[in-house]
Amino acid sequence: MGRTGAHPGIALGSLSVWPMTTFDLAALRRFVDTFADRLHERKDELTALDSAIGDADHGINMDRGFTAVRGKVAELDDGTDLGTAAKTIGMTLISTVGGASGPLYGTFFLRLATSLGERSEADAEALGVALRAGLEGVAQRGKAVLDDKTMIDAMSPAIDAYDGAASDGMAAALNAAAEAAATGRDRITPLVARKGRASYLGERSANHQDPGATSTTVMFESLRDAVDG
């Protein structure tokens, strides 16, 4: 993120023009560090959620993946464009995380990469377009729809909320996205899973918090906090 403009806000009569926030390689690195730290701290919690309705590996998977991602992103040259950096994240996840979540999160970042392309900075609109491309990739790859009780149920409302708040700037949009992800995560807890390992449990999957929707919420919270400083 770079805040261009010396003032926190410039009042123009009744109109307040807030400085533009942009997403750049430094922001992406802050996001990766924040998300990797939080996944590491919450590894046992994520794995416990997955032990109730899966195979008890989600925290381990995500921690392994983002530990590798952190190393790869740290090695990138400072002039690396956002597309190349996001592609590095996606490829690293696909090669280091097995199961459902590796290919799904990997696809999310690969689609982000294609959308961001050679940009060195993305404004609020470009980041929103890229996030939606990521969501569409996850939906295509996993074939989950809303209410199947997956990460889609956190990701999809997060990106809708982002779009709804994007005219207020990137920080506001990411804040709305993080809140909507958490709401989505909690909304599906009573539901019966219809995708992934949890679906094998049928009715017994009800009333358990979904691990993937939980890690996706941590992802949006990390993105918000990385951009917000």
Ligand X SMILES: Nc1ncnc2c1ncn2[C@@H]1O[C@H](COP(=O)(O)OP(=O)(O)OP(=O)(O)O)[C@@H](O)[C@H]1O
C-beta closer to ligand X: residue 170 or 181: 181
C-beta closer to ligand X: residue 101 or 222: 101
Helices 211-228 + 25-41 axis angle, to 10? 140
- Least distance between Mg ion and beta carbon 204 (Å): 16
In three state form, how does the secondary structure of 155-203 look? HHHHHHHHHHHHHHCHHHHHHHHHHHHHHHHHHCCCCCCCCCHHHHHHH
3-state secondary structure (DSSP) of residue 69 = helix
Q: Is 50 one of the binding residues for ligand X (CB under 6 A)?
A: yes
Residues 155 to 194 in contact with ligand X, rule: CB under 6 A: none
Q: Is 210 one of the binding residues for ligand X (CB under 6 A)?
A: yes
C-beta closer to ligand X: residue 73 or 104: 104
Residue 144 contact among ligand X, Mg ion, none, beta carbon within 5 to 8 Å by kind: ligand X
Residues 6+ apart with CB under 8 A from 15: none
C-beta closer to ligand X: residue 29 or 58: 58
Alpha-carbon distance 155 to 136, whole Å? 10
Q: Is 64 one of the binding residues for ligand X (CB under 6 A)?
A: no
- Least distance between ligand X and beta carbon 116 (Å): 22
Long-range Cβ contact pairs of 196-204 (< 8 A, separation 24 or more): 196/54, 196/100, 196/142, 196/144, 196/150, 197/53, 197/54, 197/55, 197/100, 198/53, 198/54, 198/149, 199/148, 201/53, 204/53
C-beta closer to ligand X: residue 3 or 195: 195
Tell me the residue type at 99: G
Q: Is 168 one of the binding residues for Mg ion (CB under 5 A)?
A: no
Residue 204 contact among ligand X, Mg ion, none, beta carbon within 5 to 8 Å by kind: none
Residues 18 to 57 in contact with Mg ion, rule: CB under 5 A: 50, 54-55, 57
Q: Catalog residues that contact ligand X under the rule CB under 6 A.
A: 50, 54-55, 57-58, 61, 99-101, 104, 142-144, 150-152, 195-197, 210-213
Q: Catalog residues that contact Mg ion under the rule CB under 5 A.
A: 50, 54-55, 57-58
